[in-house]
Structure 1
Amino acid sequence: MQWVYLAIAIVSEVAGTMSLRASDGFRKAVWLIPTAIGYLLAFGMLALTLAEGMPVGIAYGIWAACGVAITAVVAKILFDDPLTWLMGLGIVTIAGGVLIIELGAAHH
C-alpha cells in the first residue's frame, strides 16, 4: 500500500503545483483551493507512505524526483514553459541519484 500512497502523493503534489502556476501568483483566487488541497493531500499521503514503513530517504527521493520530472513535462504541455535538453539531462541525473540511493538502501 505504501507505493499507492506514494503515487497519490506525487500526483497530488504535481496537481497542487500546476494549480499554483495557474493561480498567477495568487491573482486568480479560484486556484487557491486546488492548490491547498493538492499540497495537503500530497503531504498526507507522504506521511502514510512513511507510516507504512518506507524509508524516508527513499520515499522523499522518489517523490521529489518524480515531482520534478512530471511537473516539468506537464508545465511544458499546459503552460508552454521551457523544457530544454539540458533540463532533461538534469531530470535524468536526479532520477539516477534516486536510483543509486534506492540501490544503496537495498544493501543495508
Structure 2
Amino acid sequence: MPYVLVVLAILFEVAATLSLRASEGFSKLAPSVVVVIGYAVSFALLAKALTQLNVGPVYAIWSALGTVGAFAGGVLLFNEPLKPVTIAGAVIVVAGVVVMNLGGGVSHS
C-alpha cells in the first residue's frame, strides 16, 4: 500500500507542476487551483507513505519520477524542446535513483 501512495503522490505532483506552467504565473484560476490542491495532496500522500518507507530512497523516487514526468508533460503538452542532452539528463536522474535504491531499499529497517 505505501508504494501505491508514492505513485499517486508522483502523479499529483506532476499534475501540479504542469498546471503551474499552465497557470501563466497564477493568472489563470483553474490551473492555479490545480497547483495548490495537487501539491497539497501530493505532500499528504508522500507523508503517509513515509510512515512505512525510508525517506531518502522514497524522496529520490518521488522527485526523480516527478522530474521526468514534468519533462515528458512539458514536451507533450507545451511543445517544449526534446533534445538528446535532455533525454540523457532524464536517464541519468533515473539511474541515480536506481543506484540509490541498490544501497538501501525503501522499507523501514
The alignment's TM-score, normalised by the length of structure 1, stands at: 0.93
Q: Return the alpha-carbon distance in structure 2 between the equivalents of residues 33 and 26 of structure 1.
A: 9
- 1:5 maps to 5
1:24 is paired with a residue whose SS is coil
- 2:31 maps to 31
Runs of 4+, deviation exceeding 2 Å: none
Larger relative contact order (C-alpha < 8 A, sep ≥ 6)?
A: 2
Percent of paired sites with the same residue: 38
Normalized per residue, the structure richer in helix is: 1
**Alignment RMSD:** 1.2
State the shift of 1:99 in Å: 0.5
The alignment's TM-score, normalised by the length of structure 2, stands at: 0.92
1:4-38 Cα shifts (integer Å, max 9, x gaps): 00000000000001111100111212221111010
Give the count of matched residue pairs: 106
Write out aligned runs for 1:16-95 (5 A). Answer: 16-51=16-51, 53-95=52-94
